[in-house]
Amino acid sequence: MAEVPPDQPVKDAKRVQSLVYEALERNQTLPVALTSLQIQGGNNTRSSFLRAQVDDLLTRPYTVRTLLQALDDSAKRLNSFGIFKGVAYGLDLAAPQENLPGVVALEGTLLLQDASTKRLRTGTDVGNGEVSAYASGALLNVFGGAESLTIDANIGSQRRSSYIVDYSTPIKNSHLWRADISGVASSSNREWASHEEVLRGLRAKAVGPGAFGGTQEIGYEAFWRTVTGVKAHASESVRAAAGDSFKSSVFNTWTLDKRNDPLFPTEGFSIKLKNEVAGYLPNRQGDIQFMKGEVESQVAKSFWKENITISLTGRGGLLWSFMKDGKTNIVDRFALGGANDVRGFYLNRMGPRDEEDSVGGEAYAAGGLSLFSRLPGVTHTSPLRLHLFANAGSLLGLNRENPRETIAKLFKEPSVAAGVGLIYKHPVARFELNFTLPIAARASEFPRKGFQFGLGMSFL
């Protein structure tokens, strides 16, 4: 018997693969029909849910090419639920069907490998002078329909505590639309305004495809908010804002993200619009009435084989009170400044100030121009980049008699900072260490000159 060389199976596999491709190539337009589909694995998933994902495969006429495409799409859809760690289709010839003359009948097999249904993570975070510990537990595919139940707990020195229970489920077994219901209880230290903020409430939203190929969220939230723990040195504004309020609001977020990477885009653009209307639902509409709109956009473009990337980001927002006295709550106002938005300023220390408290504003605009460059001696795929930036922003109280004046003022006298630094793109977050130089600032703001460290998912 002849000895089989060690690489013989590999060669055979390659030959089989080559023959399959050749056969498929030759028969691309051959009419085929999927007469049956057998599902193997996926024991944690309801059969009705799986049928809803694959039923349409059995009803349509195909050619070889369109069938393979349909199976590929179906596998991607199934993978998108995150409840399988492996999805594969197999095809075999079936007995010829009398009712399908001239069509090759095929039997399909869907092989599903279940992912773990439980996840538990614990850890500690250190940063920004805060030490926090977190625990997160999730039950996935709880009822066999890609539902998930997540519980997050976080205890830290700044965000004193945060507990979130979230239940998420596909809407009508759809891979496009999901419904999320969250219960939130958190207590956080708002040191820039000498108080603590306590939130308890519910948020329900539907997430799905939106206009122009974007995604959208439509939802409702009801929150009991308490401004408490007022510090001894707190200003009159913060003391007057202390107390309870109940917000009942509907919101809509539309996002079109064509960036190649949301953490560190080198090509593409994104637009995000967020609107919130509070206090205008029938019954239980809360004691806070306002409309809030925000827009955010980013464009990134690379040159010279991604050795240089230029990113331009703009944000803006407006808060309009519908209260009888036209006043807004400190909890709802915008805050600006910090390593993650307008660099060169202390965290949330831009805009109006009463004594030493940055009390937030009702209108803001911010923009940033960043230039990222490959470091000498480092490949262009390296996560480390040199960063040059200039950013500007304005945060103001709104002149309700003449809102246009406020909007004009946003752009007329923006606070500006520039700097240089390094960024590091980690798979889960972006790190920045910049040397910042404030160039212009309002007298009420807290600019900072020197090193500033930023960690987050989104930057100006």
Please identify, among the stretches 30-38, 73-81, 120-128, 136-144, the one whose residues bind other proteins according to the rule CB under 8 A.
120-128
Indicate the residue type of 444.
S
Q: Are 19 and 11 spatial neighbours (Cβ–Cβ below 8 Å)?
A: no
Instruction: Pick the closer one to other proteins by CB: 141 or 189.
Output: 189
411 contacts other proteins (rule: CB under 8 A): no
User: Which 343-362 residues touch other proteins, going by CB under 8 A?
Assistant: 346-354, 356, 359-362
Footprint on residues 379-398 left by other proteins (CB under 8 A): 394-398
Contact region with other proteins (CB under 8 A), list: 79-87, 104-112, 236-244, 383-391: 236-244
Q: How far is the CB of 147 from other proteins (least distance, A)?
A: 24
Q: Which residues of 284-317 are buried (b: 16+ CB within 10 A; e: fewer)?
A: ebbebbbbbebebbbbbebeeeeebbbbebbbbb
Q: Mask: binding to other proteins, 16-55, rule CB under 8 A, as x and -?
A: ----------------------------------------
Structural contact between residues 114 and 108, judged by C-beta atoms closer than 8 angstroms: no
Nearer to other proteins, 53 or 406 (CB): 406
Judged by CB under 8 A, the stretch of 33-41, 51-59, 257-265, 342-350 that binds other proteins is 342-350
121 binding other proteins? (CB under 8 A): no
Q: Which residues contact 91 (CB under 8 A, 6 or more apart)?
A: 67, 71, 106, 107, 108, 109
Written as six digits, the tokens of 267 are 């090509």
**Least CB distance to other proteins at residue 52 (A):** 34
Determine contact, residues 192/330, Cβ cutoff 8 Å.
Answer: no
Stretch that binds other proteins, among 74-82, 89-97, 175-183, 194-202 (CB under 8 A): 194-202
Q: Which of 233, 262, 304, 426 binds other proteins (CB under 8 A)?
A: 233
Calculate the alpha carbon distances from 77 to 51, 54, 245, 261, 400 in Å.
Answer: 13, 10, 42, 21, 49
449 touches other proteins by CB under 8 A: yes
Any contact of residue 89 with other proteins (CB under 8 A)? no
Please say whether the beta carbons of 140 and 119 come within 8 A.
Answer: yes
User: Could you please report the per-residue DSSP string of 14-26?
Assistant: HHHHHHHHHHHHH
Q: Say which residue the tokens 């079936």 belong to.
A: 94
CA–CA dist 115, 43 (Å, integer): 11
Q: Give whichever of 108 and 368 is closer to other proteins, judged by the CB atom.
A: 368
For other proteins, which is the closer residue by CB, 74 or 415?
415
Q: Cβ 219 to other proteins, closest distance in Å?
A: 13
From CA 76, how far away is CA 70, in angstroms rounded? 10
Cβ distance to other proteins smaller for residue 206 or 439 = 439
Q: Is 317 a residue that touches other proteins (CB under 8 A)?
A: yes
Closest approach, Cβ 359 to other proteins, in A, equals 5
Residues 134-193 within binding reach of other proteins (CB under 8 A): 159, 188, 190-192
Contacting residue, 34, 138, 207, 366, with other proteins by CB under 8 A: 366
Instruction: Tell me which residues in 251-280 interact with other proteins (CB under 8 A).
Output: 279
- Select from 32, 45, 62, 341 the one that contacts other proteins (CB under 8 A): 341
What is the C-alpha to C-alpha distance for residues 247 and 227, in angstroms, rounded to an integer? 13
428 is an interface residue for other proteins by CB under 8 A: no
DSSP state of 307: T
Task: Kindly state the smallest distance separating residue 360's Cβ from other proteins, in Å.
Answer: 6
Contact status, residue 311 vs residue 299, Cβ threshold 8 Å: yes
Total residues at interface with other proteins (CB under 8 A): 118
Does 82 help bind other proteins (rule: CB under 8 A)? no
Q: CB under 8 Å, gap of 24 or more: what pairs does 96-99 form? A: 97/33, 97/35
Structure tokens at 97: 């069907």
Q: Which of 110, 146, 234, 423 binds other proteins (CB under 8 A)?
A: 234
- Show the DSSP H helices in 89-220 as ranges: none
Q: Which of 170, 219, 265, 286 binds other proteins (CB under 8 A)?
A: 286
For other proteins, the binding residues in 197-216 under the rule CB under 8 A are: 197, 199
Nearest to 191 by CA among 159, 156, 219, 167: 159
CB of 21 to other proteins, least distance (A): 47
Q: Rule CB under 8 A: is residue 128 a binding residue for other proteins?
A: yes
CB 437 within 8 A of CB 427: no
